[in-house]
Each structure stands twice: as structure tokens, then as C-alpha cells.
Amino acid sequence: MSEYEHATERLSDDLQKKRIKVACNNCRKKKIKCDGATVCTNCQVTQEPECIYDEKLSRPPRKKQRTLKLDEVLTYLNSRLDRLEALIQSVASSIPGNNATQPEIPVKAEPQAFGFGNEDGESSDATQDEDKVASPSDIIGCTGKPNELYLGNHSFFSIISKSSLTWMKGQLSEKNEHLIVPLINLPYVFENKTRSFARMWLDPNNSNHCKNMELIRSPLPNKKEAIFDLFEKYKNSFNAVQALCLIEEIETFLTKYYSTTNPNKRNLLLIDLFKLSLAILICLSDAMETLFDRACDDPAYGPNKIPIKDLTPKEISNLRDGLIHVCMCYFYQLGIRSQGIETVKAMLFLGVFLTKCYEPPEIIHIVFTLAIRKALDTGLHRIETYRNCSREGFESRLLVWKIACYFDMEICFRSGKPPIINYSDMSEELRNSFSVYEIVNKSYPLPFLRYYDMIFEVRLDTYNRLFSASADTKTFQALQANVDILNQKMFNLLAQMTPDHRPYFFNQPGFEEVRAIYNIDEEHRLTARLTFFLNMMIINRLPTMFAFPGVTTEQTHIYKNLSLNSARTIMHMLKNFHSYGPGKAPSLWIAFFPLISVLHLLAACMSDPKSLDAHSDILLIIQMCETWFNRKLSADSFCSFKLDMSLLLQVFVKSVANIAISIFEMNTGIAILANNEKIRDSFEAPRKLFPELFGNAEHLKKLIPYIFESKSPFPGDGTPTLIDNEQIHGNLSEGAFEENMPPNGGAGYGSLDFGIGLDGLENLLFDQLDQFPNFFFDGVGGGL
């Protein structure tokens, strides 16, 4: 056998062997397999002069890792999560269309990565980047609480975001920096209103059926004539929701209730008592509104006046508070044991009452969420549940479902929440159903229902195209295409309306102001028109909210004009429609429309105070403030009524208006308040009514519990009096903005002790405020 054949045989035999640990230098250099022999086969075949094996350096033994403590593991995981969140936030800020002003990110040394060290505490071999990314807690001074509230860009609450307040402060002179203080303090009041309401669910005494059995079975007082008189005077207050509860139905319940003093013989179900209590609640609220309206006109008018037979103002207030408590018990029980569509009606009715009182959006959202969930559980969103119904039952179910859809979409745009209903799961036959089935209802004329259907579809499409997570708004071209589609749908809707129902812009022939509402049909027309212009305003506001690269003001000018003209139209429509006194709006629900249009126009005036329309817009805003946000209550008339939303909104709107007027005067030299004593006094009224909001946060923190613990808005009945501190009337010293602005948008105020289980309620609003976008959206024009 030749030497070559012998070597080949050896090589084939070695193929069956395991791979050796060390190869010779020649094989390692050529990256071929070596058999590990003294002179390997490859070297023999290639006749290499030498076959050398270099000894491989042995690695030092690994040092034993020490066992980590639990707190070290948690610290390490938290640092990793913080870094990941900061990286995501950094990436998000670079995406076009998401360029809200971000505070400067400080550099922070990253904690040592636990789990890779040794017993001597030496650092690991991995090198760390020199440029560290700060955690979100470093950016906004977070207290460590998670953000547990989502509010979208369509929420008007972004006016009190940290970035918006900082922007407004930057536009003001040092002399007027104190004007920003009430906007810093107002979120604390809103939050505590929500907390006090939520206590009704979280406090066991308020939802214990056994302890409250007598009150639940007999919620109304024994004054039969007084209650009938109250109902007769104010029964038209809920005309608009007769699909939920007919006036005749309430009259029947009242007759049964007072037919006997024995609850067991009244033949009233729990759901009947719930509806009856809600109807009386709405009447009581209107009676209190009448009383307060008279007190505004005549300071001498007060608790000694009797607006209702045999019911003093104090009794009206106490009865209202007691019925709210009872209705929460009903709501709690029906949330567990439902009674079908009647439960849906009653829960929606409760939501109507709360919106009439204009409670904070968080409160209203709680009620409508459960009501809409009950509607879905009842199957109102699927056509198969309608097929075995009579014509009357079909219309009733359809109207209830449409009311649920209306409030779902309305709360979505009012509170910044996403819709509750999954509309992709709704039967197609229920879309545009009023036109298809020609629904006839004495409370809702067919033209209104048909137009409502069309407006609803456009609003739903607006949310999906502009505000949903899947909305394509990353580039100006994509956003512009969506806005153009929606605008075309809005104008197509106009073309389908009859002239007497059609909304007209304020500068078009056919436009009419609203001075009073005389019947339900006029109320429906006004609702449809206001909703139309509100949606038009929201659609065309979006292109000017973000500064897209390469997009000029000329490209967004048409959208800005459409948006601002829609706001002006709402204001011109309502400027002579008094929300208080004779001919007042049937509900504070309508106050949202002037509120959001005024804020929108104020933002435009602040962003561009030298624009041609700024002066006329300021004068229009002042007129709206005089009409809608001008309740004149003395500081000691109705002390706890200071927390009524109508007065808080007055403080809110006039505070923002004060800032806008100050910026306008500083930039143009045109005096607005100085030359008009009446207007100046009107804008000073909120300070006199609620001086606590204009002072230091610590004073507000001490005084608010006295008001929230008050039982009655009337003096002389044991209500704690407020402490009058001269310090809260003065302007804040230089630099007080930063001192008074608590970290995380207000979390530093602390929390009121409302009972066990309320510790997390501050997350309802405060923890999200710093995440809100800047309300001053004209990024192209330098607004950001």
C-alpha cells in the first residue's frame, strides 16, 4: 500500500472519531479538520516542514455570582423598564405629528446591572453608553404612580396640561404671571368632586341594601302635595328623553307611591322607584337652579324664599342629596341584577341627570359605561334581537340603542375617551335605521332622527380616521386626505338637509341666532346644528395641531378658517341665548358647546394675537362670557354651591380669557379691560366668589375639605364657614409659578381622607395631566 493510500485510509477512519479539541497551526490557519496526530495527516499529504501544536491558554475559573436580594432584583428590573420607556418616548417624539414640546431630558448615570457583578462589587465586563437616557420619572418629577387614565387629543382638558400652562406663562409678562394660578388649582377641585362622587360606590354604608332598606323602599317625603306641585312645574325638564321615561309613566308611579303609606302595597318595582326618583331629582335640580337664578338677580333673595309649596330651599337641597344617595343604591343593585331593557333606560336616565348637572366627565363616563354595557348585554346592537318584537317594541328598542350610541360618541368627544361600543360588531341593518324603518315618535320627529343618524356616522368616521390608534396621520399628506374626506361628508350632509333644519355658518344667508327654546322640536334642531359645527371644528383643527416639516401656513389656512368659523358660528348662535334665568337652556349639557368654542377661539387669539380677526374674536368671547359664564353670587350666599360646575366653569373660562386678553393687549397695545369698568368687574367676579382658587395651593388644600363636607348650599344650617385669609387675595411673588405648580400636574396637593379604598383616585386626572398635548396647536406659526 502506497503512502498516499495509507494516509487516505487513516483519514477515512478518523472521520468516525470525535472532533479533537486542539488542531495544529497549519490546519487551524487553513481552517480544515485536523486529526491531532503527532504529525497530522494533512501535514503529511501536503508535506509541510513541521506540524506544531500551540498550547491553548486556559481561561481563569469564573467567580461565583453572589445571590441577589429581592430589593436588588426589583431595583434592577425597574431601571431596565425606565430605560425602555424612555427609549420608546424618545422614538415617539421623533415621529412627525407627535412633536409636542418635550422638556429637556437630564443625563442620569444608569444603576449597575445587578446579576452580573461579583462578590467584591466589581462592575461587569459590559461597557455602558456615555449618553444615558433618563427615565420618565426624571422628566416630569413623577411620584412613582403609573398613568392610569387615557385621554386623547380631542379632550379640552389639555388646556390645563403642564406644557400648555408653561406655554401660556411664557407669553405673559412678569406682572401678569399670577393669572395662571387658578388654572393650576382647578384640577384639584375637579378631582375632589370626582372623589366625593366615587365614594358612593366605595363606601360600604352607601351601597348596603339592608341598612338602607327603609330609604330604598320609600325614597320620597310624605309631603304629597309639595311633590306633585314640584313635578307639575318642572316635568318638561326631561322632555328630550321621553324614550327613556314618559311623563305619563312618572305620573302613574307618583300616584301609586302616594296611594298608600305601606311600601308593600304600592306595587312598584325597584326599577320603577329608580325612574321615579330620577324624575324628581331632575325637577329638584331645576327648582334649585331657579332659586340660584333669583339669588343672582337679587342678593336679598335666599333661604327664606319658598319656590315650591311646603318645601323650603333647605328641604329641597336635603331631599336632592338624599335622592342622589338612593339612586346610587339603585344603580349599584341594578348593575348586578339587571331587568333587561328597563335597566338600560334607567341607567341612561341617570346619566342624563348627571349631564344636566354638568358633573366632571370622569363621573359621567362611569355611569354611561355601565349603561352601555347593559345595552350590549341586552343585545340592542344585533338585529336578531329585534325580529320577534312588535312594531312598538321594535321602535322602543331602536330608540334606546340610538340614545346609547349618541351618548357613547358624545362622551367620547367631550371627555377624550375612546368609544365604548365596538361598532364593527353592530348589525348593518341598524345603521341609518331611522330612515329605513321610518320610525315615528312623538318626542323625536323623523327629520331629526334621520339627520342624527347621518351626523352620528360622520362623527364615528371622524374618530376612526383622526383619533383611533389605526388612524393614518403620520404625514401631512395622509392627514390632509382624511380631513378632506370628512369635510366632503359633512358638506354632503348639509346638502341632504331641508332648509329649516340645515346648519348655516354665521356669515351665510339663512343663519339665525337662538334666543329661547319654546318646544322640543326647536331643542332637537339646536342640538343637531351645534353637533354639526362642533364636529366641523374638531375635524379642521387637527391639521394645525402639529408642525409637519415643509408645511407652510398657506397649506393649513383653509382648515384653520373652517375650524375657527365653526367655533364662531356656535358662539354667534348662542351669544344671546341665556343659560340662566327665563328662557334658559333645558340643561347645562348644552354649556359644553359654548365652552369648547370659546376655548378654541381663545387659543387662536393667544397663538396669533396680531391676526386681523383677533380683536373681534376677543369681543365675541367677552360677550359669550357675559351670557354663559356670568353667574353673580356673593361669596357668602350659598357657600358649598361654589363647587357647582356652572361656577367652576365660570372661573375656568374667565381665567383663560383673562390670559388671552392680557397677551392680546401686550402684543397690540389695544386696551380691552382698562377702558371698560363693567367688563373688568365681570372678570374679577370669580376672584371674589372663589378667592381660594387664586391663592397658594396649600391654602386651597386646607379649605376645600370644609366645602366638600358641607351638606347644604344654604347658610344658617350648620355648614362650616370658610376661613378668610388675606394672603390668598394677593398676587404671587416672582417665581411662584414653579413653587405653586406641584409635580405631575397636581399630585403634590395630597388627597382628602374620604375613606378606605380611595387612595388611588388621584390617578383619575393628575397622573395624566403631564402627558396631555399642548393645547396651543398652531405649531407652524410658532405656537409650540
Return the pLDDT at 53. Answer: 83
- Quickly list H helices, 542-613: 553-574, 592-607
Which range has the top average pLDDT, 131-145, 161-175, 298-312, 621-635? 161-175
Q: Around Cβ 502, how many Cβ atoms within 10 Å?
A: 18
Q: Grid coordinates representing 555? A: 397649506
Q: CA-based Rg of the chain, rounded to a whole angstrom?
A: 34
Q: What is the dihedral of CA 494, 500, 506, 510, to 10 degrees?
A: 110
Return the pLDDT at 491. Answer: 93
Spatial contact of 691 and 642, defined as CB atoms under 8 Å apart:
no
Return the pLDDT at 616. Answer: 94
**CA-based torsion, 394, 410, 591, 344: positive or negative:** positive
State the amino acid at position 647 in one-letter form. L
Percent of the chain with pLDDT over 70: 65
Return the pLDDT at 239. Answer: 65
Furthest C-alpha separation in the chain: 131
Q: Grid coordinates representing 325? A: 344617595
Q: Grid coordinates representing 524? A: 332637537
Closest among 709, 701, 696 to 747, alpha carbons compared: 701
Return the pLDDT at 741. Answer: 41
Average pLDDT over residues 215-220: 85
Q: How far, in Å, CA of 641 to CA of 647, rounded?
A: 8
Per residue in 548-576, pLDDT (tens digit) is 888 888 888 999 999 999 999 999 999 88
Give a three-class secondary structure readout of 438-478.
Answer: CCCECCECHHHHHHHHHHHHHHHHHHHHHHCCCCCCCCHHH
Q: How confident is the model at residue 57 (pLDDT cuts 50, 70, 90)?
A: low
Spatial contact of 199 and 322, defined as CB atoms under 8 Å apart:
no
Q: Grid coordinates representing 779? A: 405649531
- CB neighbour class for 206 (10 Å; exposed up to 12, middle 13-18, buried from 19): middle
Average pLDDT over residues 75-85: 79
Rounded to 5 degrees, φ, ψ at 419 are -60, 150
Percent of the chain with pLDDT over 90: 17
Beta bridge mates, 528: none
Q: How far, in Å, CA of 71 to CA of 68, rounded?
A: 8
Per residue in 363-408, pLDDT (tens digit) is 788 889 999 999 999 899 998 988 888 888 888 888 899 889 988 9
Cβ neighbours for 565, distance < 8 A, ≥ 6 positions apart: 505, 506, 507
Residue 730: half-sphere exposure toward Cβ, Cα within 13 Å: 7
Q: How far, in Å, CA of 197 to CA of 747, rounded?
A: 19
Q: Grid coordinates representing 230? A: 314640584
Spatial contact of 206 and 200, defined as CB atoms under 8 Å apart:
yes
Return the pLDDT at 546. Answer: 76
Cβ neighbours for 252, distance < 8 A, ≥ 6 positions apart: none
Q: How far, in Å, CA of 562 to CA of 542, rounded?
A: 11
Q: Around Cβ 81, how many Cβ atoms within 10 Å?
A: 12
Which range has the top average pLDDT, 51-55, 207-211, 458-462, 635-639? 458-462
Q: How confident is the model at residue 305 (pLDDT cuts 50, 70, 90)?
A: low
Return the pLDDT at 434. Answer: 65
Mean per-residue pLDDT of the chain: 73
Alpha carbon 203 to its chain's center: 25
Please give the C-alpha separations between residue 490 and each of 57, 95, 486, 493, 513, in angstroms, as whole numbers. Answer: 79, 30, 6, 5, 21
Domain ranges of the chain: 3-46, 73-118+130-156, 207-396
Q: Is the model's pLDDT at 743 over the cut of 70?
A: no
- Quickly list H helices, 608-712: 614-628, 645-668, 677-689, 697-708
Residue appearing with cell numbers 334649585: 288
Beta bridge mates, 308: 311
Q: How confident is the model at residue 626 (pLDDT cuts 50, 70, 90)?
A: confident
Strand locations in 28-78 (E)? none
Q: How far, in Å, CA of 290 to CA of 296, rounded?
A: 10
Return the pLDDT at 757. Answer: 39
